[in-house]
Amino acid sequence: MYRYDDFDRTFVAERARQFRGQVARRLEGGLTEEQFKPLRLQNGLYLQLHAYMLRVAIPYGVLSARQLSQLAMIARTWDRSFGHFTTRQNIQFNWTKLEDAPAIIDALADVEMHAIQTSGNCIRNVTADPYAGVAADEIEDPRVWAEVLRQWSSIHPEFTFLPRKFKVAITGAAEDRAAILFHDIGLKIVKGPEGETGFRVYVGGGQGRTPYVGLEIATFLPRDRLLSYLEAIMRVYNLHGRRDNIYKARIKILVNALGLDEFRRQVEAEWATLDRPSIDLPAEEFTRIAAYFKPALLKAASAKDADLDARRHSDTAFDRWVRNNVVTHRQPGYKIVNISLKEPGKIPGDASADQMDAVADLARRFGHDEIRVTYQQNLVLPTVASRDLAAVYDGLVAAGLATANTELITDIIACPGLDYCNLANARAIPIAQEIARKFADPVVVQSIGPLRLNISGCINACGHHHAGNIGILGVDKKGTEHYQITLGGSPKDDAAIGDIVGPSFTAEHVPGAIETIVATYFELRRDSAETFLVAYRRLGKAPFRDALYGTGAKPAATAALENADV
Amino acid sequence: MPNVVTANNLRSGAVVYLGSAGRWVDHLIEAAIASDAPALKALETEALRAVESTEVTAVYAMDVAVIAGRPEPTSVRERIRAAHAPTV
């Protein structure tokens, strides 16, 4: 993975020193809250319901074991011994104190981490395929370009005060595991006509109040032109983005107001004016950065392992975990291991300090010292030898991290919601917990098959409800929490925004409504190979709506029903 | 509707309420209740002083229901804040 050079180290240390001074001045009264707020936000420090929340950047979701152990230490020393992994592959500490923040930032800098640009109207932490570098379907490792973009966008003077926040995601694989079509800019590494690699560029995707699936602005951008092209996009957005209206300030609104063709024309006109050689990445700089991401030299190992097969045969729970959480690695004899942070009844995305240490330890012993964070709020050990799977599983069982539900209905994305967040209208976590408890039987969950269920506590959609096969949005209706259900969303290559199925439900009726939706799918699916999403696309929302609300003109007299649409 | 004044402690971020004699308290039950506009104005003036002296931040007045003489939150959000803990 990337290691800081002297420039990076000095830059991060200097920022930490500046922040320490800013906090001291705030505490002494030299800065008002109005003056201080933008400074703390530029360093990832929010004031939430109960405490300050520090959002730490995990560049493209990649952590070393040492870094994860340091996060565990921070959780123990300055928080309540846990952290919350987010849908942007970051981690948040929910219970920090302002007076401790400088020490936490110093502790992060000790392991080449920081919280810069995890808030504010700037280019945020670039996210990437969590299987980058190890996926069997990968054309090129996107981490190299993600690191290039990190360096390009970090305190870029022109893009520090954008109309609104800006999110970039990148994948180098055939399958989109980074939800690139729901980002301001989505990048997919593709092969050109001569077999060379370049980028397919999507723009204007996003969730929130006005969700859009990203549009393809460039089919094949030569790789050595990436930075100048992105700079042209950013310039058009920076100039014309709606600074007058926070709800219309994201690039998706501009792209859709201008139309893709006009937006592209403006970008290309701007691109033509740029001094490209001074912006684009020199080949030798790419080579320098790429060297940090050279694939680990893995000993040849047999794809078949008799001990593994025997354990799978004799241990049903282990077999289920292998089937659901273990994925093909590009090299035979090795596997990608998904670590679920979604044990039914627990808080999605939360990991205790002890669990973080346990994962770091497994990464050191069996995982080539590397951990990934996924936007589904889980962790990944990207490279584990097949012969070590049983040992890793046993370690995860001991740490309470062996839930076998990757990509299944209980692998729920949920934002912190009203339990922690100042923006939320409704709670998300208890809804997730109740649904997960309803579906606690792993055999039932297995039989339902792949199903993304996502919950957001407000329209800002941090819980990706628009992109869930089943999405749940918390809303406030006259002081009561209600939940709107959407069906048919997808975050993948077939990206789609879910359809609102009908009137909203009160909290206690949401788990039952989800059961009804799943039962309807079970009844109507062609066979077990037809996933929920495929079935929904074939059937439309009518049978689900009828099952939830009744088929007559007057909705069924279920207590679940609220009469007014939200 | 009666009001109390709430804020976050500047150093810790913890939820606090303005009690009697300008003292900031952790528990809503100890908050000073303003039953009319002049009383609320007095509390807000007091709170502003605490903002200037860097004791608290994010000050606002919130509605409460007074039950048996005790202030009770009227929204889910304020119930969660008053508990100093998530509901999960």
Confidence (pLDDT) at A296: 84
Contacts of B59 in chain A (CB under 8 A): none
Among the partner-chain residues A347, A418, A479, the one whose CB lies closest to the CB of B80 is A418
* Mean per-residue pLDDT over chain A, rounded: 95
The helix/strand/coil state of A124 is coil
Chain B interface includes A317 (CB < 8 A) = no
Confidence (pLDDT) at A551: 78
Q: Is the pLDDT of residue A304 over 90?
A: no
Asked whether residue A437 falls in the same domain as residue A467, the answer is yes
Q: Does A558 fall in a domain?
A: no
Q: Is the pLDDT of residue A565 over 50?
A: no
Contacts of B65 in chain A (CB under 8 A): none
Q: Is the pLDDT of residue A557 over 50?
A: no
* CATH number, residue A461: 3.30.413.10
pLDDT tens per residue, range A104-134: 999 999 999 999 999 999 999 999 999 999 9
Among the partner-chain residues B51, B52, B80, the one whose CB lies closest to the CB of A49 is B80
Q: Among A293, A323, A350, which residue terminates a domain? A: A293
Confidence (pLDDT) at A175: 97
The answer to whether A127 touches A373, Cβ cutoff 8 Å, is no
Q: Which two tokens stand for residue B80?
A: 């969660």
* CATH number, residue A310: 3.90.480.20
Residue A161 has phi, psi (to 5 degrees) of -130, 65
For tokens 């789609």, the residue is A496
Q: Does A255 fall in a domain?
A: yes
pLDDT tens per residue, range A449-499: 999 999 999 999 999 999 999 999 999 999 999 999 999 999 999 999 999
Among the partner-chain residues A26, A51, A419, the one whose CB lies closest to the CB of B87 is A419
Q: Is the pLDDT of residue A553 over 60?
A: no
Chain B interface includes A429 (CB < 8 A) = yes
HSE, side-chain direction, 13 A CA sphere, residue A439: 32
Q: What percent of chain A has pLDDT over 90?
A: 95
Contacts of B72 in chain A (CB under 8 A): none
Q: Does B8 fall in a domain?
A: yes
Closest Cα partner for A246 from A197, A297, A209, A202?
A209
Q: Does A403 fall in a domain?
A: no
pLDDT tens per residue, range A58-86: 999 999 999 999 999 999 999 999 999 99
Name residue A96's beta-bridge partners: A52
Confidence (pLDDT) at A297: 87
Q: What is the pLDDT along chain B (88 residues), one digit of tens a residue?
A: 999 999 999 999 999 999 999 999 999 999 999 999 999 999 999 999 999 999 999 999 999 999 999 999 999 999 999 999 999 9
Question: Are the beta carbons of B14 and A481 separated by less than 8 Å?
Answer: no
Name residue A500's beta-bridge partners: A486
**CA A249, A255, A256: angle at the middle one, nearest 5?**
95
Q: Does A525 fall in a domain?
A: yes
Sign of CA dihedral A538, A541, A545, A546: negative
Q: How many domains does chain B have?
A: 1
Q: Residue B58: CB partners within 8 Å, gap ≥ 6?
A: A33, A47, B7, B8
For tokens 């420090």, the residue is A45
The helix/strand/coil state of A197 is strand
pLDDT tens per residue, range A313-354: 999 999 999 999 999 999 999 999 999 999 999 999 999 999
What letters, b where the CB count within 10 A reaches 16 and e where it falls short, cover A350-360? bbbbebbbbbb
User: The domain containing residue B53 runs over which residues?
Assistant: 3-83
Q: Is the pLDDT of residue A556 over 60?
A: no
Task: Tell me which residues of chain B have a C-beta less than 8 Å from any C-beta of chain A.
Answer: 8, 10-15, 51-54, 57-58, 74-77, 80-81, 84-88
Q: Does B79 fall in a domain?
A: yes
Question: Are the beta carbons of B76 and A49 separated by less than 8 Å?
Answer: no
User: How far does the CA of residue A420 sit from the closest CA of chain B (Å)?
Assistant: 7
Chain B interface includes A86 (CB < 8 A) = no
Confidence (pLDDT) at A64: 98
User: The domain containing residue A386 runs over which residues?
Assistant: 306-398
Question: Are the beta carbons of A419 and B88 separated by less than 8 Å?
Answer: yes
Question: Are the beta carbons of B10 and A96 separated by less than 8 Å?
Answer: no
Band of pLDDT at residue A552, cut at 50, 70 and 90: low
Contacts of B15 in chain A (CB under 8 A): 49-50
Confidence (pLDDT) at A112: 98
Question: Are the beta carbons of B54 and A27 separated by less than 8 Å?
Answer: yes
Confidence (pLDDT) at A564: 37
* Nearest chain A alpha carbon to B54: A29
The helix/strand/coil state of B63 is strand
Q: Which two tokens stand for residue A101?
A: 């923040």
Question: Are the beta carbons of A50 and B12 separated by less than 8 Å?
Answer: no
Q: Residue A532: CB partners within 8 Å, gap ≥ 6?
A: A448, A449, A450, A451, A469, A470, A518, A521, A525
Q: Is the pLDDT of residue A563 over 90?
A: no
Band of pLDDT at residue A277, cut at 50, 70 and 90: very high
Q: Does A313 fall in a domain?
A: yes
Contacts of B86 in chain A (CB under 8 A): 50, 419-420, 429
Chain B interface includes A423 (CB < 8 A) = no
Asked whether residue A226 falls in the same domain as residue A97, the answer is no
Confidence (pLDDT) at A558: 42
Closest Cα partner for B77 from B12, B28, B19, B23?
B28
Closest Cα partner for A209 from A244, A175, A248?
A248
Question: Are the beta carbons of B15 and A50 separated by less than 8 Å?
Answer: yes
For tokens 């290691």, the residue is A3
Q: Is A301 left (phi over 0), alpha (psi -120 to 50) or beta?
A: beta
User: What is the C-alpha to C-alpha distance for residues A422 and B77, in angstroms, rounded to an integer?
Assistant: 9
Asked whether residue A277 falls in the same domain as residue A319, the answer is no
Higher pLDDT, A458 or A303: A458
Q: Is the pLDDT of residue A559 over 80?
A: no
Chain B interface includes A98 (CB < 8 A) = yes
β-strands A453-456, B15-18 pairing: unpaired
Q: Does A443 fall in a domain?
A: yes
Torsion, Cα A435 A436 A437 A442, to 10 degrees, reads: 130
User: What is the C-alpha to C-alpha distance for residues A482 and A505, in angstroms, rounded to an integer?
Assistant: 5
Q: Which two tokens stand for residue A305?
A: 């392992």
Among the partner-chain residues A33, A98, A347, the one whose CB lies closest to the CB of B11 is A98
H or E element, residue A474 = strand A470-477
Q: Is the pLDDT of residue A561 over 50?
A: no
Question: Are the beta carbons of A27 and B14 separated by less than 8 Å?
Answer: no
Closest Cα partner for A411 from A455, A458, A462?
A455
Chain B interface includes A275 (CB < 8 A) = no
Q: Which two tokens stand for residue A473?
A: 């949005």
Q: Among A398, A428, A454, which residue terminates a domain? A: A398
User: What is the C-alpha to C-alpha distance for residues A223 and A221, in angstroms, rounded to an integer?
Assistant: 6
* Nearest chain A alpha carbon to B83: A50
Band of pLDDT at residue A560, cut at 50, 70 and 90: very low
* Nearest chain B alpha carbon to A53: B13
For tokens 């089943």, the residue is A470
User: What is the C-alpha to C-alpha distance for residues A22 and A26, in angstroms, rounded to an integer?
Assistant: 6
Q: Is the pLDDT of residue A53 over 80?
A: yes
User: How far does the CA of residue B19 sit from the closest CA of chain A (Å)?
Assistant: 19
Distances, alpha carbon A165 to alpha carbons A125, A181, A239, in Å: 11, 16, 14
Q: Does A405 fall in a domain?
A: no
The answer to whether A113 touches A75, Cβ cutoff 8 Å, is no
Band of pLDDT at residue A301, cut at 50, 70 and 90: confident
pLDDT tens per residue, range A5-30: 999 999 999 999 999 999 999 999 99
Asked whether residue A462 falls in the same domain as residue A533, the answer is yes
Q: Does A209 fall in a domain?
A: yes
Chain B interface includes A481 (CB < 8 A) = yes
Asked whether residue A105 falls in the same domain as residue A134, the answer is no
Q: Does B88 fall in a domain?
A: no
Q: How many domains does chain A have?
A: 4
Contacts of A33 in chain B (CB under 8 A): 51, 57-58
Chain B interface includes A22 (CB < 8 A) = no
Question: Are the beta carbons of A433 and B88 separated by less than 8 Å?
Answer: yes
Contacts of A427 in chain B (CB under 8 A): 76, 87-88
The 3-class secondary structure across A126-172, one letter per residue, is CEECCCCCCECCECCCHHHHHHHHHHHHCCCHHHCCCCCCECEEEEC
User: What is the C-alpha to C-alpha distance for residues A527 and A469, in angstroms, rounded to an integer?
Assistant: 18
Q: Residue A288: CB partners within 8 Å, gap ≥ 6?
A: none
Contacts of B16 in chain A (CB under 8 A): none
Asked whether residue A47 falls in the same domain as residue A174, the answer is no
For tokens 């803990």, the residue is B85
Confidence (pLDDT) at A555: 43
The whole-number average pLDDT for the span A355-376 is 98
Alpha helices in A190-250 (DSSP H): 226-240
Among the partner-chain residues A97, A347, A480, the one whose CB lies closest to the CB of B11 is A97
Chain B interface includes A33 (CB < 8 A) = yes
